């Protein structure tokens, strides 16, 4: 069955540094979504990517969808303490089934 | 004004008890979900309902029974609670497989 894998599982970042989290699917995705869950909170939608090779930016966050529509990445520049939380990717396959990755838990050190 | 609301937020109960978590969405969405999040933060889908019809029923014990009285509500009843049921349960909704809106979660602790 479809698997969505996300790496790394944990990311410790010094404030001001950049980091990237990656999402890989075993099957082609119709679209991919990214969510952020703050500690003690609930997942909140960040963005959706639909087109092959699509790149979208939200301030310091850059999201990319691979050319084959089987992988995606989230790059955060100049990390701030407000970036702490767990980032999930979630991919829809062609049958309309959504699967979440395991998440990347981000800890920011001041 | 909360889009997806679930109650209770915290629930501490003894093994063997039966409990329910209620969920309501006021977004007019046609699909509702229950997710379970364990201590490692993994989000596992349990059930999905579309217009009150069950469309996803992942491998969960049959002690868990969802009920959707209408498309704005999806409740979760759990019989004979076990220690391993301790987790955060998120209700969520979406419109035809688009963005998923999560409730604030129900923290269940079984002692």
Q: Name the residue ranges covered by the structural domains of chain A.
A: 20-94+101-109
B:51-110 residues touching chain A, CB 8 A cutoff: 56, 90, 97-105
d(CA B79, CA B69): 19
Q: Is the pLDDT of residue A95 over 80?
A: no
CATH value at residue B61 = 2.60.40.10
CA-based nearest residue in chain B for residue A105: B41
A17-45 confidence digits (pLDDT tens): 999 999 999 999 999 999 999 999 999 99
Minimum CA–CA partner of B104 in chain A: A42
pLDDT higher than 90, residue A7: yes
Q: Which long-range contacts (CB under 8 A, 24 or more apart) does A16-19 make?
A: A16/A78, A16/A79, A17/A78, A17/A79, A18/A75, A18/A76, A18/A77, A18/A78, A18/A79, A19/A75, A19/A76, A19/A79, A19/A106
pLDDT for B16-61, tens place per residue? 999 999 999 999 999 999 999 998 889 999 999 988 888 877 778 9
pLDDT mean across residues, chain A = 94
Q: How far is B88 from chain A (nearest CA, A)?
A: 10
Taking an 8 Å cut-off on Cβ atoms, the answer to whether A42 and B42 are in contact is no
CA distance A75 to A77: 7
pLDDT surpasses 70 at A1 = no
| CA atoms of B26 and A87, how far apart (whole Å) | 26
Query: Nearest CA to CA, how far is A43 from chain B (Å)?
Result: 6
Alpha carbon distances (Å) from B105 to A103, B7, B21, B32, B65: 17, 8, 10, 14, 18
Per-residue pLDDT, averaged over A89-107, amounts to 89
How many Cβ atoms sit within 10 Å of the Cβ of residue B38? 12
pLDDT over 90 for what percent of chain B? 79
* Domain enclosing residue B38, as ranges: 4-110
Interatomic CA distance for residues B21 and B73, integer angstroms: 11
| B84-104 CB burial, b ≥16 within 10 A, e <16 | ebbbbbbbbbbeebebbbbbb
- How are strands ordered across the β-sheet holding A61-65? A4-7, A19-25, A71-76, A61-65, A55-58
Q: Report the percent of chain B where pLDDT is more than 70.
A: 97
DSSP β-ladder status, A44-49 and A29-37: antiparallel
Q: What is the DSSP letter of B83?
A: G
Q: How far apart are CA B5 and CA A29, in angstroms?
A: 30
d(CA A73, CA A56): 11
**CATH top class, domain A20-94+101-109:** mainly beta
What band does A97 get if pLDDT is binned at 50, 70 and 90? confident
Residue B2 has pLDDT above 80, yes or no: no
**Residue B7 pLDDT > 80:** yes
The pLDDT of residue A9 is: 94
pLDDT of residue A2: 57
**How many domains is chain B built from?**
1
């Amino acid at each position: 069955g479809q698997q969505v894998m996300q790496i790394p599982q944990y990311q410790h970042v010094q404030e001001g540094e950049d980091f990237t989290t990656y999402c890989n699917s075993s099957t082609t995705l119709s679209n991919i979504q990214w969510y952020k869950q703050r500690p003690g909170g609930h997942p909140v939608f960040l963005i959706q990517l639909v087109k092959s090779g699509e790149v979208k930016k939200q301030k310091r966050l850059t999201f990319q969808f691979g050319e084959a529509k089987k992988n995606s990445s989230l790059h955060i520049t100049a990390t701030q303490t407000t970036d702490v939380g767990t980032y999930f990717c979630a991919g829809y396959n062609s049958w309309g089934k959504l699967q979440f990755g395991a998440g990347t838990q981000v800890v920011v050190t001041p | 004004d909360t889009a997806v609301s679930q109650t209770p937020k915290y629930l501490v109960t003894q093994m063997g008890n039966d409990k329910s978590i209620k969920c309501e969405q006021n977004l007019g969405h046609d699909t509702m979900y229950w997710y379970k999040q364990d201590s490692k933060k993994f989000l596992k889908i349990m059930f999905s309902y579309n217009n009150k019809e069950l469309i996803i029923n992942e491998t969960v014990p049959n002690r868990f029974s969802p009920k959707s009285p209408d498309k704005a509500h999806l409740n979760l009843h759990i019989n004979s609670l076990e220690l391993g049921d301790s987790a955060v349960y998120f209700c969520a909704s979406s419109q035809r497989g688009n963005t998923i809106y999560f409730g604030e979660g129900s923290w269940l602790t079984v002692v």
